[in-house]
Structure 1
Amino acid sequence: MIKALIFDMDGTIVDNMGVHTAVWLDVLAEFGVEITAAEFQATMAGMTSLETLRKLVNPEMTDTQAAEIARRKEEQYREQYRAAMQPVRGLLSLLQEARRAGMSLAVATAAGNDNIDFVMNGLALWDSFDAVVGADDVERGKPHPDLFLLAAERIGVPPEHCLVFEDALTGLEAARRAGMAAVAVTTSHNIDEVAHLPQVRQVIPDFTHVTVADFLGEAG
């Protein structure tokens, strides 16, 4: 039985991946890295900033160097996205319904603390979740399962009883590796890219027509 819902943040709680990707492409271009938005979202979304920079710019980049580049990138992202911030449609109703049903709720995101605070404070969501874990809490981002497993541990629910909501291919793979079923949110990829994945139980454009009854009685 599904007892907990674990939400990715960027691209799932908020539809902001277009802004994130555009800013990343500008930053990467400064280092001579050419990559399309589609390629970036398919391969890098869900990774930490350090992982992204070491993979695309310099595998020997130090933590200090990466932190400075990431700080500049994230400041640009927050400045560009601030005025447009809003939850993905239907999210707040689903959270309220899940809470009434006694389900545990968590966020597992590859974002750093500043970006987590930016969204969670901006949408007043802190009280909606039992746990929030991010890049600063783990050594490895997605597609490794660490974020989802830590979220499950903190809410005290076994992975097989958790359902993940995720937009990124790397995040959906992380859910599979964590032993969790997933619902794919198509803010970043189309249905053909995610529907065939074995861990994906449902594909949705947003949360408008999602209810707890859709999965409350399912086996984990």
Structure 2
Amino acid sequence: MKQKIEAVIFDMDGVIIDSEAIWKRAEQEVFSSVGVELSSELCELTQAMTTAAVTRFWYERFPWKEKSLTEVEYSVIERVADLIRDEGTAIDGVERFIRDIKHRGYKIGLATNSPAMLIPVVLEKLGISDYFDAIASAEHEPEGKPNPSVYSSVIKKLGLTPATCVAIEDSLSGLVAARKAGMKTIAIVNGAHASAEFGIADLIVNHYGELDLKTENY
């Protein structure tokens, strides 16, 4: 028997906040300052990594001496936080969607690979902090996505089972993590071309205006 969905768990970057350009700018500024030569090809490999993993990735290729890995990682996070406060904008339609599902009784969670300190920065910037019932960062997990642990942590905090939760993601690694956690999945592509890899999602939508949980057609 199909179980009723009781909670929606959101990824953060690219799902709640339009932050891809912000991350790229912060990483370019900070890593370049310690001698890293960033290339678009290598940057593509780091997109789904945690900040700690990205920092290790660049250090292994362009080892620096002036600062520790932790100092450089924190510099990136601080720069991202500053840019979000100054320039951060919500993904189109997400605020209305969150308000709607909260009003209709769904629990709301957040599971992100981003550092924990950025979660309140994003939610406060967008004015949606009060809507979330549980949050988790992969910073506090053994591994980031595609490992499912960050999703499992949020599900546990919500007091629910995976079968009653649906994840909204914009990346393959996030979709894999959610599926491994036992959840239904929705891929939101935000107007971009939907990669064939997104076929693992139970539902693919272009934007939040296409998404209506009343039908639960996934």
TM over 0.5: yes
Distance 1:189 1:166 in 2: 14
- Counterpart contact for 1:106–1:151, Cα < 8 Å: yes
Greater relative contact order, per chain length (Cα 8 Å cut-off, separation 6+): 1
- Counterpart contact for 1:97–1:212, Cα < 8 Å: no
2:40 equivalent in structure 1:
36
1:179 is paired with a residue whose SS is coil
Instruction: Note the aligned Cα RMSD (angstroms).
Output: 2.7
Distance 2:49 2:100 in 1: 30
One-letter amino acid matched to 1:58: E
- 1:49 equivalent among 48, 51, 58: 51
1:101 equivalent in structure 2:
104
Sequence identity percentage: 23
Distance 1:190 1:66 in 2: 35
Distance 2:60 2:192 in 1: 27
Give the 3 Å change call, closer, same or farther, for CA 111–182 of structure 1 in structure 2: same
Distance 1:214 1:31 in 2: 52
The alpha carbon displacement at 1:106 in A equals 0.1
**1:213 maps onto 2:217 in alignment:** no
Give the 3 Å change call, closer, same or farther, for CA 173–28 of structure 1 in structure 2: farther
Distance 1:183 1:173 in 2: 11
**1:74 maps onto 2:82 in alignment:** no
One-letter amino acid matched to 2:40: T
1:163 is paired with a residue whose SS is strand
Distance 2:83 2:196 in 1: 28
Give the 3 Å change call, closer, same or farther, for CA 145–67 of structure 1 in structure 2: same
Bigger CA drift: 169-178 or 180-189? 180-189
1:160-199 map, 5 Å: 160-187=163-190, 190-196=193-199, 198=200
Give the 3 Å change call, closer, same or farther, for CA 162–207 of structure 1 in structure 2: same
The alpha carbon displacement at 1:23 in A equals 2.5
- 1:17 equivalent among 15, 20, 25: 20
Task: Name the TM-score, length of structure 2 as normaliser.
Answer: 0.83
1:114-193 map, 5 Å: 114-187=117-190, 190-193=193-196
Distance 2:38 2:87 in 1: 27
The alpha carbon displacement at 1:164 in A equals 0.7
Give ranges in structure 2 of 5+ residues lacking alignment.
none
Deviation track 1:53-79 (CA, whole Å, cap 9, x = no partner) reads 223423999xx9332111211222233
Larger Rg: 2
- Counterpart contact for 2:114–2:137, Cα < 8 Å: yes
Give ranges in structure 1 of 5+ residues lacking alignment.
none
2:214 is paired with a residue whose SS is helix
The alpha carbon displacement at 1:101 in A equals 2.5
Deviation track 1:152-183 (CA, whole Å, cap 9, x = no partner) reads 11001111221111112221221122122211
- Counterpart contact for 2:36–2:58, Cα < 8 Å: no
Task: Name the TM-score, length of structure 1 as normaliser.
Answer: 0.83
Distance 1:134 1:170 in 2: 15
The count of residues paired between Structure 1 and Structure 2 equals 211
Distance 2:12 2:205 in 1: 16
1:90 equivalent in structure 2:
93
Distance 1:160 1:115 in 2: 28
Bigger CA drift: 22-31 or 166-175? 22-31
Deviation track 1:22-46 (CA, whole Å, cap 9, x = no partner) reads 3224444444354317x535x4334
